């Protein structure tokens, strides 16, 4: 499992819209039949059962996506999101381009963007997460963002001022740092 997918509605100028309908909160029972797929392909590395991540995604992004019939309602939102995520096969794309999960090897943002661009014909937005302690900074790949139109066709992502990294001329926040792409341990395999 590589990549986070938000199915995050935006305005044409790239500004995000979020938390559109607070009267329709996340209800885990609505997606019970999707749980195995969600845990396998959209895990929350911080919460073994994933409910916090999925609640966040639904409340912030899913409640804004209901304007499209395919995304109207919690079950439709998560089902369509999983369908789209699986259609891109990012793990296979990275593996074919020698970018594989590792606890020790690092990559550059270009390794990820070039693999996707070569395979799918568009340049994604990369988001990274950096941990900082007394002696070092460690950067991990967090998200590979793609943009879709209302027919779910890939489009170039609008450049939002919040997502533009002017120092390196890239969208996203990964810059030129060394980036870890760690293996994901299935929630069922974790020892708490």
Predicted local confidence at residue 185, as pLDDT:
58
Place of tokens 């070569």: 118
Predicted local confidence at residue 169, as pLDDT:
43
Is residue 192 exposed (0-12), middle (13-18) or buried (19+ Cβ within 10 Å)? exposed
Q: Is the distance from CB of 176 to CB of 168 less than 8 angstroms?
A: yes
Element (H, E) at 52: helix 51-57
Predicted local confidence at residue 44, as pLDDT:
75
What does the pLDDT look like over 76-107, one tens digit per residue?
A: 999 999 999 889 888 899 999 999 999 899 99
Residue 146, both tokens: 């793609």
DSSP three-state, residue 73:
coil
Residue 111, both tokens: 């390794």
Judge whether residue 122 has pLDDT over 80: yes
Predicted local confidence at residue 171, as pLDDT:
54
Tally the C-alpha atoms within 13 A of residue 104's C-alpha that lie toward its C-beta: 0
Domains of the chain in start order, with CATH, are 90-189 (3.90.730.10)
Tell me the average pLDDT across 13-39: 83
> Is the C-alpha dihedral spanning 155, 161, 166, 168 positive or negative?
negative
Predicted local confidence at residue 97, as pLDDT:
96
Question: Average model confidence (pLDDT) for the chain?
Answer: 81
Q: Is the distance from CB of 58 to CB of 73 less than 8 angstroms?
A: no
Predicted local confidence at residue 133, as pLDDT:
84
State residue 49 phi and psi, 5-degree precision: -90, -10
Is residue 149 exposed (0-12), middle (13-18) or buried (19+ Cβ within 10 Å)? exposed
Closest CA to 50 of 41, 61, 59: 41
User: Which range scores top for mean pLDDT: 17-26, 132-141, 160-169?
Assistant: 132-141
Alpha carbon 81 to its chain centroid, in Å, reads 10
Predicted local confidence at residue 129, as pLDDT:
85
What does the pLDDT look like over 140-184, one tens digit per residue?
A: 988 888 888 889 988 877 765 445 544 444 457 888 889 999 887
């Amino acid at each position: 499992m590589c990549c986070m997918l938000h199915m995050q509605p935006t305005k044409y100028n790239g500004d995000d819209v979020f938390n559109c309908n607070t009267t329709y909160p996340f209800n885990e029972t609505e997606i019970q039949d999707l749980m195995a797929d969600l845990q396998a392909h959209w895990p929350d590395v911080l919460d073994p059962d994933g409910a916090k991540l999925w609640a966040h995604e639904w409340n912030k992004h899913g409640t804004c996506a209901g304007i499209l019939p395919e995304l109207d309602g919690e079950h439709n939102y998560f089902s369509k999101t999983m369908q789209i995520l699986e259609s891109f096969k990012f793990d296979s794309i990275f593996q074919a381009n020698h970018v594989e999960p590792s606890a020790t090897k690092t990559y550059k943002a270009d390794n990820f963007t070039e693999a996707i661009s070569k395979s799918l014909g568009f340049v994604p937005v990369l988001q990274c997460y950096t941990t900082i302690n007394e002696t070092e900074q460690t950067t991990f790949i967090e998200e590979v963002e793609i943009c879709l139109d209302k027919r779910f066709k890939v489009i170039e992502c609008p450049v939002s001022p919040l997502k533009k990294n002017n120092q390196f001329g890239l969208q996203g926040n990964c810059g030129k740092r060394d980036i870890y792409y760690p293996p994901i341990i299935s929630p069922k395999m974790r020892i708490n």
